[in-house]
Every structure is written in structure tokens, then in C-alpha cells.
């Protein structure tokens, strides 16, 4: 389906990002993985994807807080593969605290990684997509890009910003064969969410089991975590020709959370 295409997936050495990278590789796309780990630590993942799906895979450790490194990642991918056809902006971090106790450094980091990096990656990749008349941009927002929760001011702000960026980009490139959409997952049991459980328990003064039952999954009518494979499958669809008229959308994959 995506044979000959190249996809950059930020924050893709674990969790949602890695699942999406695997789904795109299965569909035939070459992959640029990205993360903060040393290259040698990611080598087994690179080799596994290449051997399993018969595509080319590279790793780029670009710092998602550094616009120069982000641009260099896109330029390097274009040089290595001849094009960057798909960008999946997935990189993200989290911190939980009341607004009046929220560390300024944490606010700045979350805004930079969760929101601004999507702008910088998109900005760098769009000229090539426009030249070729084809492109797919998929932003991993969150249900928190549509609704809010207490103690997550930076994360909620960043994800709302990602949804706004998605709509703006979609309108700008609507006649150029390029689509831009946001996926808005509910709670997915990733390493990021695992770290949130004890932090939320401390912030709210409740047990970790109560966080899972009464905070995280309370809002999801299915009472189940969203699977990473579901997000990978949706991303592949959004990158297909079948989704060429689907653009500017914020698509909830949240077990019914935002249907309330």
C-alpha cells in the first residue's frame, strides 16, 4: 500500500510511536525512527523492522526541543531515501501537578516536545511534499486535545495546540495532494502512562489502582485501554489513498470518552 514511501515517526522507539512505525513498515514504507536513546540501543529495533517487513529503516536521535536538529533529520531522511512522504508527529512527555505548583521548566519542555516539534517537523517536510504533490501528516494529539483534566495544564494546552495546527495545515495544503489529521487517543498503557499512574496517585492522594479505575478508565465507557495496534492501523489508513479526502480532522480513539 505504501511501497516506495518514506515515513518519519518521532518518538518512535517505544509505545505508540513504535507501534505506528511497525504498522507503516508492514504497509511497505521505509521508516525513520526517532528517540532519545543511544543509536546502539535502538539497533535491534531497526534490524527487526528491516528483517520482518523488508523495508529500509534508519534511526535519527534528533532532539525534539531543537528546531535545527529537527530540520536536519528531515533533510537527512530526504537525502537517504529521496523523499519524506509521511510525517507522524508522536513525540511527547508528561508531567502532572497543580497549575500554581507546575515547574516552569516542565511547562517549557512539554510545550516544546509535544507541540512545537510538530510545527518544526511539518515546516521542514512540507516543501518536498508540495513539490511531489503528495504527503501525509499525522499528528498524535490526545483526547486531551479535545477535553481537559486537572493537573495537566501543559499537556492539555499542547495537545489543544496540536489540534489547531492540524486544522491550519490541512487548510493550507488542501489543494496540493497533502492531508493533515490528528489522532486523539484515550488512555493507552504505554511507558508514558505507566509513569503517570504513581504521579497522579500522589497528586490526588489516592492509590494507583484507584487512579486506573477511577481516573483513567472512568472516562472511557469501554473500561479498556486503547491498543497501540489500533492506532497503527488508523495511521496506515490515513496515509492511504482511501483517506485522500479526510483532512483537518481530530479523530477520537478513546473508548467513547469524548462522547460524554
**Catalytic residue (one of 95, 151, 155, 187):** 155
Residues 175-204 as b or e (16 or more Cβ within 10 Å = b): eeebbbbbbbbbbbbbeebeebbeebbebe
Number of H helices, E strands in the chain: 9, 7
Contacts 24+ apart (CB under 8 A), 163-172: 163/139, 163/250, 165/115, 165/118, 165/119, 165/122, 165/139, 166/137, 166/139, 166/141, 166/248, 166/249, 166/250, 167/248, 167/250, 169/122, 169/126, 169/137, 170/247, 170/248, 171/248
The packing angle between helices 117-132 and 153-172, to 10°, is 20
Instruction: Compute the distance between CA of residue 152 and CA of residue 158 in angstroms, rounded to an integer.
Output: 10
Asked if 155 is an active-site residue, the reply is yes
What is the rounded distance in angstroms from the CA atom of residue 3 to the CA atom of residue 34? Answer: 21
Active site residues: 155
Amino acid at each position: 500500500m505504501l511501497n516506495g514511501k518514506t515515513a518519519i515517526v518521532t518518538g518512535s522507539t517505544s509505545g505508540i510511536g513504535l507501534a505506528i512505525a511497525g504498522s507503516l513498515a508492514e504497509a511497505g514504507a521505509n521508516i525513520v525512527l526517532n528517540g532519545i536513546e543511544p543509536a546502539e540501543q535502538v539497533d535491534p529495533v531497526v534490524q527487526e523492522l528491516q528483517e520482518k517487513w523488508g523495508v529500509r529503516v534508519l534511526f535519527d536521535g534528533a532532539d525534539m526541543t531543537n528546531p535545527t536538529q529537527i530540520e536536519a533529520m528531515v533533510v537527512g531522511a530526504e537525502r537517504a531515501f529521496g523523499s519524506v512522504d509521511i510525517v507522524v508527529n508522536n513525540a511527547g512527555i508528561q508531567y502532572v501537578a497543580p497549575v500554581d505548583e507546575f515547574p516552569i521548566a516542565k511547562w517549557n519542555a512539554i510545550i516544546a516536545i509535544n507541540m512545537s516539534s510538530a510545527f518544526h517537523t511539518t515546516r521542514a517536510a512540507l516543501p518536498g511534499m508540495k513539490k511531489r504533490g503528495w504527503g501525509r501528516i499525522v499528528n498524535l494529539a490526545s483526547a486531551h486535545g479535545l477535553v481537559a483534566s486537572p493537573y495537566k495544564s501543559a499537556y492539555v494546552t499542547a495537545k489543544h495546540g496540536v489540534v489547531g495546527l492540524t486544522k491550519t495545515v490541512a487548510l493550507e495544503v488542501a489543494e496540493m495532494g497533502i492531508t493533515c489529521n490528528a489522532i486523539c487517543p484515550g488512555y493507552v498503557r504505554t511507558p508514558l502512562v505507566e509513569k503517570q499512574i504513581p504521579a497522579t496517585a500522589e497528586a490526588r492522594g489516592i492509590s494507583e489502582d484507584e487512579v486506573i479505575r477511577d481516573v483513567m478508565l472512568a472516562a472511557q465507557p469501554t473500561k479498556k485501554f486503547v491498543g497501540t495496534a489500533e492506532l497503527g492501523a488508523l495511521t496506515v489508513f490515513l496515509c492511504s489513498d482511501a483517506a485522500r479526502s479526510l483532512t483537518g480532522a481530530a479523530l477520537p480513539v478513546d473508548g467513547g470518552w469524548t462522547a460524554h
